[in-house]
């Protein structure tokens, strides 16, 4: 690389770092990222649900084999996220560090892959194209699996190319990193056929290399925890984990909420393409289509067979994701390969000033689209300026911070621990969930928390269920609290809560899950505070709208 190219590399990497990490904690955890983070916090597979149960609920404790994976996904993402929580504490920003750092690392890997394919200029153009791909930045800013998954895939592909072009010993490295990709997300199963097909098309002699088969052996050794986990689950429950149960069409009663997914697979080209368009933007999508056609031309007319690898990977990913329904949150794994073809197209014509000028104008547009979709508080509603992927801040993060202040240096009341354990965790042996985070000291006792039941389940998992499960605070929805107060079973413990501090959290019209739903118990609790002339603390979202109302009182007979 020339000195100028090194400077460009540094500038792109610095810009990407800013786009990935700036306001990383802006968006609320409104989807699967919420319960991923909750479970990663203790590396404990528990969903706080009777509709999607886990081994600890089936057996009352965690069998040894259940530590090897999770019921719905492989374990690696949860494990790494758990390590970050251990070092930096529990916060929404920390929950996203795994994805964010993986995105930054992927960008560097992407440069080296593109440089192997076409030199340093192609590498820099590929970096630039990827940084301006909204899907790539978006998936690096949320706590989902895809960003971490693509990091391992790119690392595996880098060593696969080195094994083919430089020295066969790198097949072992490739097997290691592809194994880690599968330990992150099962999607690698649908990339593997592309890799095998590429080996057959590009150079069949590699099939005779002992290093290749050693790499295959390393791959299976790395994924052995998944194999052991699923064999034990099959033996004990009669089915595999969620993903493999879907794949093999296994019907069972352990996950009623997911039952409709089994056997419901169909090819959905239209929705998948629509998600890609809204995720990348129309101009970027059209640029990718043009680049794909040009890449196919290079492969067949200029015999650039090495480009067959990313083309096959993209093809297999698209077909698989379209087949399983093409949910928008999954499609970011295609971003690097789409961006690579854009770079291949630009690299061929980069010597023309007009191409550079048009690229600069498009780059400005893509940057505006990206910032609107990820960073600003109040984004344009114009679909040409903002992606439908955009995640909003409704005030849940601000509520989480406020709860942390309320509970700082406090501990749950013993009576509250008793009620919470008996009501929500009675099917689990006490020693299985006797976490060190349950403060049993003689410190100041924390409040009892009553919540509005009309709040979406996902943020509830992160804000409330994690504190109930790992710290054993008594956090109940208004209807649950009314049942606790009137139940003969909990009366002895509840009577010991008299005089305890009580927090009541009421959702505003912008944060309720169902605007037309009225829960009588919620109105009853709210009316008690209003009759006492207690004014709430108001939690605002990042647009200044009222999001939640926190009423403070005392439990009385």
In a domain, 311, yes or no: yes
Rounded Cα gap, residues 89 and 96, in angstroms: 12
Looking at the structure, tell me whether residues 139 and 233 fall in a common domain: yes
In a domain, 64, yes or no: yes
Domain boundary among 340, 374, 408: 374
> What residue has token string 């809204």?
278
**8 A C-beta contact, residue 229 and residue 239:** no
Domain boundary among 374, 404, 423: 374
Looking at the structure, tell me whether residues 311 and 409 fall in a common domain: no
With 60 as the cut, is the pLDDT of residue 557 above it? no
With 70 as the cut, is the pLDDT of residue 512 above it? yes
In a domain, 384, yes or no: no
Pairing of strands 475-477, 448-451: parallel
How confident is the prediction for the chain on average, in pLDDT? Answer: 93
Looking at the structure, tell me whether residues 368 and 441 fall in a common domain: no
In a domain, 437, yes or no: yes
Rounded Cα gap, residues 444 and 496, in angstroms: 16
Domain that holds residue 287: 3-374
Q: What is the pLDDT of residues 43-93, one digit of tens each?
A: 999 999 888 999 999 999 999 999 999 999 999 999 999 999 999 999 999
Residues 6+ apart with CB under 8 A from 65: 228, 229, 232, 233
Percent residues over pLDDT 70 in the chain: 98
Looking at the structure, tell me whether residues 365 and 405 fall in a common domain: no
Domain boundary among 374, 408, 424: 374
In a domain, 387, yes or no: no
In a domain, 380, yes or no: no
Rounded Cα gap, residues 136 and 332, in angstroms: 6
Looking at the structure, tell me whether residues 293 and 412 fall in a common domain: no
Looking at the structure, tell me whether residues 445 and 507 fall in a common domain: yes
With 70 as the cut, is the pLDDT of residue 261 above it? no
For helices 308-323 and 146-165, give the axis angle rounded to 10 degrees: 150
pLDDT the model gives residue 264: 53
Number of domains forming the structure of the chain: 2
In a domain, 303, yes or no: yes
Q: How many CA atoms lie within 13 A of 154 on its CB side?
A: 26
Looking at the structure, tell me whether residues 276 and 224 fall in a common domain: yes
In a domain, 391, yes or no: no
Q: What is the pLDDT of residues 476-496, one digit of tens each?
A: 999 999 888 887 777 788 888
Rounded Cα gap, residues 68 and 74, in angstroms: 8
Residues 6+ apart with CB under 8 A from 22: 375
User: Which pLDDT band, with edges at 50, 70 and 90, does 166 fall under?
Assistant: confident
Query: Could you tell me which residues are beta bridge partners of residue 475?
Result: 449
Rounded Cα gap, residues 504 and 475, in angstroms: 10
Looking at the structure, tell me whether residues 544 and 505 fall in a common domain: yes
Rounded Cα gap, residues 455 and 512, in angstroms: 5
pLDDT the model gives residue 495: 83
Looking at the structure, tell me whether residues 214 and 357 fall in a common domain: yes
Looking at the structure, tell me whether residues 416 and 335 fall in a common domain: no
Looking at the structure, tell me whether residues 158 and 272 fall in a common domain: yes
Q: What is the pLDDT of residues 79-136, one digit of tens each?
A: 999 999 999 999 999 999 999 999 999 999 999 999 999 999 999 999 999 999 999 9
What is the b/e burial string over 36-52, where b = at least 16 CB atoms within 10 angstroms of the residue's CB?
A: bbbbbbbbbbbbbbeeb
Q: Quick one: which H or E segment has residue 397?
A: helix 396-407
Looking at the structure, tell me whether residues 358 and 488 fall in a common domain: no
């Amino acid at each position: 690389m020339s000195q100028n190219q090194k400077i460009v590399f540094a500038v792109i990497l610095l810009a990407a770092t800013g786009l990935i990490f700036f306001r990383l904690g802006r968006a609320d955890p409104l989807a699967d990222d919420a319960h991923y983070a909750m479970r990663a916090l203790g590396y404990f597979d528990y969903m706080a649900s009777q509709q999607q149960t886990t081994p600890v609920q089936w057996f009352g404790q965690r069998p040894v084999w259940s530590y090897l994976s999770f019921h719905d996904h492989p374990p690696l993402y949860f494990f790494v996220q758990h390590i970050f929580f251990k070092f930096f504490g529990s916060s929404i920003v920390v929950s996203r560090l795994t994805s964010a750092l993986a995105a930054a690392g992927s960008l560097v890997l992407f440069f080296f892959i593109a440089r192997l394919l076409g030199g340093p200029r192609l590498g820099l153009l590929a970096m630039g194209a990827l940084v301006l791909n909204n899907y790539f930045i978006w998936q690096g800013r949320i706590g989902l699996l895809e960003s971490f998954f693509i990091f391992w895939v790119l690392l595996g592909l880098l060593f696969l190319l080195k094994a083919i072009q430089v020295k066969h010993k790198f097949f072992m490295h490739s097997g290691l990193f592809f194994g880690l990709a599968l330990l992150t997300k099962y999607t690698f199963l649908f990339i593997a056929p592309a890799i095998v097909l590429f080996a057959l098309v590009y150079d069949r002699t590699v099939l005779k290399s002992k290093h290749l088969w050693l790499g295959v052996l390393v791959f299976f050794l790395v994924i052995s925890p998944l194999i052991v986990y699923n064999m034990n689950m099959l033996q004990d429950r009669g089915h595999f984990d969620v993903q493999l149960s879907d794949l093999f069409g296994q019907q069972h009663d352990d996950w009623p909420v997911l039952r409709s997914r089994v056997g419901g697979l169909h090819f959905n080209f239209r929705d998948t393409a629509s998600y890609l368009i809204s995720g990348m933007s129309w101009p970027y999508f059209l640029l990718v289509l043009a680049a794909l056609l040009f890449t196919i031309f290079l492969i067949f007319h200029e015999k650039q067979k090495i480009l067959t690898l990313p083309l096959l990977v993209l093809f297999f990913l698209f077909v698989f994701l379209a087949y399983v329904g093409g949910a928008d949150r999954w499609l970011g794994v295609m971003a690097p390969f789409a961006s690579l073809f854009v770079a291949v197209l630009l690299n061929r014509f980069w010597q023309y000033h007009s191409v550079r000028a048009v690229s600069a104008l498009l780059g400005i547009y893509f940057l505006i689209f990206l910032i609107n979709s990820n960073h600003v508080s109040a984004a344009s509603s114009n679909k040409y300026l903002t992606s439908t992927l955009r995640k909003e801040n409704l005030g849940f993060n601000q509520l989480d911070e406020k709860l942390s202040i309320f509970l700082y240096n406090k501990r749950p009341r013993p009576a509250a621990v008793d009620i919470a354990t008996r009501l929500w965790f009675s099917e689990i042996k006490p020693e299985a969930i006797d976490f060190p985070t349950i403060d049993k000291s003689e410190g100041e006792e924390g409040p009892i928390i009553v919540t509005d039941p009309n709040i979406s389940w996902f943020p509830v998992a992160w804000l409330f269920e994690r504190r109930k499960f790992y710290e054993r605070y008594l956090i109940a929805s208004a209807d649950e609290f009314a049942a606790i107060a009137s139940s003969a079973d909990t009366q002895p413990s509840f009577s010991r809560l008299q005089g305890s501090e009580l927090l009541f959290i009421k959702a505003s019209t912008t944060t309720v899950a169902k605007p037309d739903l009225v829960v009588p118990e919620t109105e009853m609790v709210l009316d008690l505070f209003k009759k006492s002339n207690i004014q709430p603390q108001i939690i605002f979202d990042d647009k200044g709208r009222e999001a939640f109302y926190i009423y403070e009182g005392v439990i009385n007979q």
